[in-house]
């Protein structure tokens, strides 16, 4: 089955800096790659996703890149703010509409 | 989007007992997914519950320990049987929004179980 590795497990940045979180996946058939943000005590929520026919996707300060050949994808957050502090999970599935397999998560801390 | 209600939101249970978690969705959905999130850990898929068929369990999870019901398209239950302290976790129900067309998973608020 699919296995998703996520790095780093913790990331501390200064407000205004950029943050990058990387994930690799094992199943070459996977073609849907979302990122979820989970604030303390809350449920995970989708922040951005990408499909295998796209190499990059942006939404304001957040971007995701995908390299299908290398089987890795990354989350980029620019101009970080304290409210970006949370746990971020990458995930993969073999198609949109099926269960997601999650990475272990990255705890992002943005200090002001 | 999808609105998901889970009950109970939290509970403290004694070793050896069983607890059933309920998940109610505000729209009809084909697939419902149950995840477990142990303290400070990631989300691990327990099983996929389709209405009208038996749930499909992931490696490491068995029906005797985590029986699931799916009586209709808006409701599911997960039972955690014969609990031990290792079962202390948050259990999350999730569904796909927009009839699965976008792939986005929506989660309930979770049921936090503490087993003593």
Task: Tell me the C-alpha distance between B34 and B37, whole Å.
Answer: 10
Flag if A99 and B33 touch (Cβ within 8 Å).
yes
Of A9-18, A38-47, A96-105, B68-77, the poorest mean pLDDT is in A96-105
Cβ distance B103 to A96 less than 8 Å, yes or no, reads yes
Reported as a pLDDT band with limits 50, 70 and 90, residue A19 is very high
Contact B57, B63 (CB under 8 A): yes
| pLDDT score, position A50 | 92
The string of pLDDT tens digits covering residues B61-102 is 999 999 999 999 999 999 999 999 999 999 999 998 765 566
Q: Is B98 helix (H, G, I), strand (E, B) or coil?
A: helix
Burial string for B36-61 (b: 16+ CB within 10 Å, else e) reads bbeeeebbbbbbbbebeeebebbeeb
Q: Considering only alpha carbons, which residue of chain A is nearest residue B59? A: A1
Distance separating alpha carbons of residues A107 and B47, to the nearest angstrom: 26
Pairing of strands A45-51, B68-72: unpaired
Q: In terms of pLDDT, which residue wins out, A16 or A97? A: A16
């Amino acid at each position: 089955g699919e296995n998703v590795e996520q790095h780093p497990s913790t990331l501390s940045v200064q407000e205004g800096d950029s943050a990058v979180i990387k994930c690799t996946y094992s199943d070459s058939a996977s073609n849907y790659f979302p990122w979820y943000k989970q604030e303390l005590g809350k449920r995970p929520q989708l922040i951005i996703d990408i499909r295998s026919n796209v190499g990059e996707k942006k939404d304001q300060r957040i971007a995701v890149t995908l390299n299908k050949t290398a089987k890795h994808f990354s989350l980029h957050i620019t101009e970080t703010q304290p409210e970006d502090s949370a746990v971020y999970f990458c995930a993969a599935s073999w198609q949109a509409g099926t269960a997601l397999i999650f990475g272990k998560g990255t705890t992002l801390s943005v200090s002001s | 989007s999808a609105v998901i209600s889970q009950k109970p939101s939290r509970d403290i249970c004694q070793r050896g007992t069983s607890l059933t978690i309920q998940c109610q969705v505000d729209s009809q959905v084909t697939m419902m997914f149950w995840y477990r999130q142990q303290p400070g850990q990631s989300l691990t898929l327990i099983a996929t519950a389709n209405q009208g068929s038996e749930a499909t369990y992931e490696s490491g999870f068995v029906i005797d320990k985590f029986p699931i019901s799916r009586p209709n398209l808006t409701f599911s239950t997960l039972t955690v049987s014969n609990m031990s302290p290792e079962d202390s976790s948050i259990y999350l129900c999730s569904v796909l929004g927009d009839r699965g067309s976008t792939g986005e998973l929506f989660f309930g608020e979770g049921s936090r179980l503490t087993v003593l």
